[in-house]
Amino acid sequence: MPTHHHFDHQSKLILTYWEGDIKDDESIQAINNYVSDLHSKIDTVNSYNEILNFLAVTSIQITPSGIKTVANIANNSGLSNNKLAIVVRSGIAFSFAKMYQVYRTRLLKGNKDIGIFNSHDEALIWINDPIVEN
């Protein structure tokens, strides 16, 4: 499950593209690597919004426990309050994204406003407009 990060400093945006199969152990390792990378750039990217794009994912084999672990790691990353857009296709990916959103925002009382979208363009509109709510 490769992930690729791009830091768009002009737009103050972190773009992460996930592809292939998503499994618990690989997603946990990917989020740990991501948080470590962010910490090395924390002074620069602390106020950046994020888009996680899962459109190239081919299968999802993650458990609710895996989602909770990933949410806990991400919630404790040290980034400031900002927006996180998750881009998924409908179906199971949307269900897992919704589970992540609910767990992180309600149970963990997370530090991000999280939206779920079916296209990258929809996510960008929401990210860039402080008035638009998900």
Band of pLDDT at residue 2, cut at 50, 70 and 90 = confident
Helix, coil or strand: residue 18: strand
Candidate CATH numbers 2.120.10.30, 3.30.2310.20, 3.30.750.24, 3.40.50.12280; the one for domain 3-128: 3.30.750.24
Enumerate helices (H) and strands (E) in the chain, giving the number of each. 5, 5
Please give the helix or strand (H or E) that residue 8 lies within, else none.
strand 3-8
Q: pLDDT tens for residues 91-124?
A: 889 999 999 999 988 877 777 889 999 999 999 9
Q: pLDDT tens for residues 60-76?
A: 999 999 999 998 888 88
Q: What is the pTM of this model?
A: 0.89
Distance CA 25, CA 23 (A): 6
End-to-end CA distance of the chain: 28
